[in-house]
Amino acid sequence: TEQYQTVYSKVSGAIAAPTAGLHFTDELLEKLEQKNIRRAFITLHVGLGTFRPVETKDITNHDMHEEWLEVSSLVVDKINQTKSQGGRIIAVGTTVVRALEGAALANQNNNSQELSLSPFSGDTNIFIYPGYKWQIVEGLITNFHLPRSSLLMLVSAMIGRKRLFSLYQEAMAKEYRFYSFGDAMLILPPARIN
């Protein structure tokens, strides 16, 4: 329904709203624009698998679900321009992370280990967990996730397990709300905190 949707949603197809985006209002988006914070919007159809826990002992054996996404040439241009000017790409939600990193992986030149972002439309089943080599995303706004979820493993891949546990302990001590309708946090990899 309209009440359980982001203010910037345009294309139907997801089974759930990307919950990190629910924190954004038209007023907040306007304030970000006034501060010259650029925005780019992708299409991503959140699938049921996003809520499925990782049940394998070895996480590399987890069968990651697919989600359909579209990263337009306009989005690619904005991201490339931001990166070339020394800016950072902050994803709103783990699904956006999967979309951008998945698009880069799908566009990988077979002759190169280096990934770059190009327009992409299709499915991704990328599973980001500790040890992942980041290509596009340099920060994340996300909610607090369930244990053993692929979403929590993605966050751990960005900031490390020790820092992740520290943040979650602080959130519990301060009685933050968790999961889909809970509080959000901005996380930045240690190398980019300034």
Q: What is the mean pLDDT of residues 2-26?
A: 60
Amino acid in position 118? S
Using pLDDT thresholds of 50, 70 and 90, give the confidence band for residue 110. Answer: very low
Percent of the chain surpassing pLDDT 70: 76
* Predicted pLDDT of residue 75: 93
Res. 107: pLDDT tops 70: yes
Q: What is the pLDDT of residues 138-157, one digit of tens each?
A: 999 898 777 788 888 999 99
Q: What are the b/e assignments for 16-34, b being 16+ CB within 10 Å?
A: ebbbbbbbbeeeeeeeeee
Please report the domains of the chain, with CATH numbers, ordered by start residue.
2-192 (3.40.1780.10)
- DSSP sequence for 16-39: S--GGGGG--HHHHHHHHHTT---
Least confident of 42-46, 61-65, 78-82, 103-107: 42-46
* Predicted pLDDT of residue 111: 45
* Predicted pLDDT of residue 79: 94
Query: What distance in Å separates the CA atoms of residue 13 and residue 169, rounded to the nearest whole number?
Result: 35
* Predicted pLDDT of residue 128: 94
